[in-house]
Amino acid sequence: MTVKFHWDDARVLLALARAGNGALAAAALGVSPPTIGRRLRALEAATGGTLVQYRDGQLVLTATGKRVVAAAERIELAAAEVGLVAGVEAVAGAPVRVTAIAAISQLLVHRIDALLAPPKPMIELVVTSQAFSLPRGEADIALRMGRLPRAEGLRCRRLGTVTYALYRHARKSKAERSTFLNDVPTAATHGHPNSAQAQWVEAEASRSGGTIGLRISDPFLRLEACANGLGVALLPCFQGDTTPGLERVGEPIAKLKEGIFLLAHPDTLARSEVRAVFDTIVEVFRDFRDR
């Protein structure tokens, strides 16, 4: 007997693959954990094979599970494409959803007056380290840092380059300056590695004989801790150079430079309000060089 395939069951597998466990997948979909288990079993019955396994407490996709996830992602993107095209004629006054990490959001807020000048649309600025999917319509515009993103089918503009250097409180003693502040990954249970910046701080502390005294996941709390003299911190130069009471320790670290990129889906850019915000962000960052 053929078991009927249901898209909602495939969405459960996608959520499991992205979240790493049933509880987070249930929260992402707004359903109960038992529902996640029931739909996963239904999908396994429809596909005729085991889709997930647990190794050392970690969820791992089987070979069949990986194929189903790949196919489900194609279905999801196709459905999102239809939604994006339909959204071109969105209701007048709909907000433009912009997503960025905390540091870039700070830069944007410092230039936000140009984005709010009439007749600009309302903006929803979502500050997160999570990479929202533009093809799936999770955001209209994204500002991202790092290397040039793999942005197949997306419009991408480079806005500038961020440089990093070590900073410390200018009036603290030499002993107090040997303690380092560092990042701590917030998604370690999902298998995400430490950032290149965090790895560099660990190596620098070891090289210089310093110690990691405090790890803080929030970048603004790390900046505040540094400004309060709790240790040396690796900061974006646009933050460290403009924070009263801080002094730079050495030159910017060349290998830690990161680009700032602006991305949007072409169908989303067909909405006049999204295009207006996109073009204004390009303009307000025109004076941004290596900082």
Q: What is the pLDDT along the chain (291 residues), one digit of tens a residue?
A: 445 667 777 888 888 887 777 887 787 777 788 888 888 888 888 888 888 888 776 788 888 888 888 887 777 666 665 555 555 555 456 789 999 988 888 888 887 787 777 777 888 999 887 777 787 778 899 998 876 666 567 888 889 899 999 999 988 755 566 899 999 875 443 334 568 899 999 999 999 889 999 999 888 999 999 999 999 999 999 999 999 999 999 899 999 998 899 999 888 888 888 998 999 899 888 877 655
Residue 48: CATH number of its domain = 1.10.10.10
Could you give the dihedral angle defined by the CA atoms of residues 265, 267, 269 and 270, in that order, rounded to the nearest 10 degrees?
A: 170
pTM: 0.65
Tell me the CA distances in angstroms from 105 to 102, 111, 126, 129, 291, one per residue in order.
Answer: 5, 10, 9, 11, 15
Residues 25 and 77 in one domain: yes
Residues 12 and 46 in one domain: yes
Please give the biggest Cα pair distance in the chain: 77
CA distance 213 to 219: 16
What amino acid occupies position 234?
A: L
Residue 240 φ/ψ, nearest 5 degrees: -60, -40
Domain containing 118: what range?
96-162+258-284
Q: Are 106 and 239 in contact (CB under 8 A)?
A: yes
Residue 273: CATH number of its domain = 3.40.190.10
Angle at 233 between CA 231 and CA 238, to 5 degrees: 135
Q: Which of 87, 106, 129 is the last residue of a domain?
A: 87
The answer to whether residue 290 sits within a structural domain is no
Q: Retrieve residue 44's tokens.
A: 């396994």
Q: Are 72 and 14 in contact (CB under 8 A)?
A: yes
CA distance 181 to 212: 6
Contacts with 274 (C-beta within 8 Å, 6 or more apart), sequence order:
96, 140, 141, 264, 268
Q: Which of 37, 54, 87 is the last residue of a domain?
A: 87
